[in-house]
């Protein structure tokens, strides 16, 4: 019996969302795994925007409950860090004891991106911690994003794959995603 | 028996982290609840930065496992959206069926912040969706952040409290946090 994999990431927001999700779905099937992707299920019309949000949240959670694993696209989105919905979903799946993998298409680790965010205006505080101009601590644990994500993945035997995608392919390059599929298929004994 | 509440948020990164966490801890106790805060447990030294990250991740997850509820500070952090570690933790607690509440100290909803992020350069795509100059869709479901977070909270009977804090008190204003404490204490039958 094959593994069902929830494909988490900001692809749903892309102008070519359907095309990109279909590409990931096809790659997942080619790896011998069963894809479950947000956007696959039609959401019935709702009386208010807020209720539409609730309906999507309910559908996505039920897809996760039905999945055996998650591959989370943690490429930075609208800021220094990953898409927050994807982070919620990764935490959700870790808590449920599902297999967890992740990837990012930006090679620079969290520390380097944060230093760039402050234009290099960083300093070591009186506690020895690296801090931005606004005093906020820069996480410096050799990880791609906040330690809860990479820690949650790696402590469960998963992996966070880092890939250096071309800037114009930040959300469409599937190299690291395919690497995650290989690792997951291997773990599931499919190859 | 009183509820144990995990205090999730970017406070650990503040220059006055200990002071701010102690303030939230005292407020939680005053509400008749038992606070569990990241940073409360000492992390033993580790051979590498990565292993330190894993150790902190393990301690924080075990605190969440031990808690009955979460109050997540979802104030935007280093970008448009909430701290990603906090989002992971909120998803984790929702998946475990714990009580979930959240708050933000920025009054502008996700849609308004995203439009500002694009300097107003937004348009409706051929699919009718609001999109930024880069084509990325702007979530428009009358919520404070990505719908997985607010949906996860509200669908479980919790609430996301929105407060308009002064810019220099963005991470220290506890008005909305105290409102969450009241709601949680009421739900726990403590008042």
Residues in chain B: 191
The alpha-carbon gap from A82 to the nearest alpha carbon of chain B, in Å, equals: 7
Q: Where in chain A is the domain with CATH 3.40.50.450?
A: 4-107+145-187
Q: Return the residue in A6, A88, A100 with the most chain B beta carbons within 10 A, the one to mutate for interface testing.
A: A88
pLDDT in tens, B70-105: 999 999 999 999 999 999 999 999 999 999 999 999
Residue of chain B minimizing CA distance to A147: B53
- Is A58 part of the contact surface with chain B (CB cutoff 8 Å)? yes
- Is A48 part of the contact surface with chain B (CB cutoff 8 Å)? yes
Top CATH class, A4-107+145-187? alpha beta
Q: Return the residue in A17, A39, A57 with the most chain B beta carbons within 10 A, the one to mutate for interface testing.
A: A57
Number of A:B CB contacts under 8 A? 183
What average pLDDT does chain A have? 96
**Which pair of tokens denotes residue A180?**
């995650």
**Using CA atoms, how far apart are residues B3 and B190, in angstroms rounded to an integer?**
9
Quick one: how many helices (H) and strands (E) in chain A? 6, 7
Strand partners, A71: A7, A101
The third-level CATH classification (topology) of the domain covering B4-109+144-187 is Rossmann fold (3.40.50)
Find how far residue A145's CA is from the centre of its chain.
Answer: 10
**Using CA atoms, how far apart are residues A60 and A82, in angstroms rounded to an integer?**
18
Per-residue pLDDT of chain A (191 residues; tens, 9 = 90+): 689 999 999 999 999 999 999 999 999 999 999 999 987 788 999 999 999 999 999 999 999 999 999 999 999 999 999 999 999 999 999 999 999 999 999 999 999 999 999 999 999 999 899 999 999 999 999 999 999 999 999 999 999 999 999 999 999 999 999 999 999 999 988 76
Predicted complex ipTM:
0.97
């Amino acid at each position: 019996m094959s593994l069902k994999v929830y494909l988490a990431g900001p692809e749903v927001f892309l102008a070519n969302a359907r095309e990109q999700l279909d590409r990931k779905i096809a790659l997942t099937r080619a790896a011998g795994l069963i894809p479950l992707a947000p956007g696959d299920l039609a959401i019935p019309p709702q009386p208010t925007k807020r209720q539409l949000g609730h309906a999507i949240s309910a559908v996505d959670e039920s897809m996760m409950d039905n999945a055996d694993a998650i591959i989370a696209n943690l490429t930075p989105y609208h800021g220094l860090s990953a898409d927050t919905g994807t982070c919620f979903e990764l935490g959700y799946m870790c808590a449920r004891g599902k297999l967890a993998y992740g990837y990012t298409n930006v090679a620079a680790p969290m520390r380097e991106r944060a230093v760039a965010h402050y234009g290099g205006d960083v300093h070591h505080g009186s506690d020895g911690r690296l801090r931005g101009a606004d005093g906020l601590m820069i996480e410096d644990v050799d990880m791609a994003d906040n330690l809860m994500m990479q820690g949650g993945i790696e402590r469960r035997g998963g992996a966070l794959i880092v890939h250096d995608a071309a800037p114009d392919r930040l959300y469409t390059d599937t190299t690291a995603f395919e690497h995650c599929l290989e690792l997951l298929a291997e773990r599931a004994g499919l190859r």
